[in-house]
Amino acid sequence: MSHFTHMKTRFQNLFYLEKALNRLNIVHKQEQTIAQNSKSSHINLVIPQSNNYDIEFCWNGQEYELVFDLSFWEQPYPIENFIDRIAQQYAGEVIIGESQKIGFQPIKYQQNSDGSNTLVLERWNNEK
């Protein structure tokens, strides 16, 4: 019997979430769903697992919840580490993307041996 867990996240931007998964080499696919009792649709992200108990990031109207069955977890690290790794990459992607909108460019993105990331941005002042 499956017992799905719904874990709240702070992931609100599909673009940055996908970039974070790509940076971590986590294979995923988009799945469009139509909300019940509504004509609106949204995109969820599905992380396939070989046992067919896939992991999903499902849009709940405010954020992408992580939905999974812990009994069938097949990832190489525990759920807490999994979500922490994605959150760390997501934060980096948000910083880079939002900074570029105001003229900053990333010049260094380094993953350190202690698990932290170093991100260096620069912006030139063209005013005289």
- Asked if residue 14 is part of any domain, the answer here is yes
Regions in the chain scoring below 70 on pLDDT: 1-2, 35-38, 127-128
**Is 97 inside a domain boundary?**
yes
Smallest CA-to-CA distance from 31 within 16, 41, 45 is with 45
First to last CA, the chain: 68
Taking only the tens place, the pLDDT of each residue in 11-30 is 999 999 999 999 999 999 99
**Residue 76 belongs to domain spanning:** 4-102
- 84 found inside a domain: yes
Whether residue 108 lies inside any domain: the answer is no
Q: Where are the extended beta strands (E) located within the chain?
A: 4-7, 29-34, 41-47, 55-59, 64-69, 105-111, 117-122
Whether 65 is in a domain gets the answer yes
pTM: 0.85
Q: Is residue 124 part of a domain?
A: no
Gap between the Cα atoms of 27 and 29, Å rounded: 7
DSSP label at 124? -
SS3 125: coil
Q: How many domains does the structure of the chain reveal? A: 1
> Would residue 109 count as lying in a domain?
no
Q: What is the pLDDT of residue 128?
A: 62
* Alpha-carbon separation of residue 46 from 38, 50, 112 (angstroms): 22, 13, 28
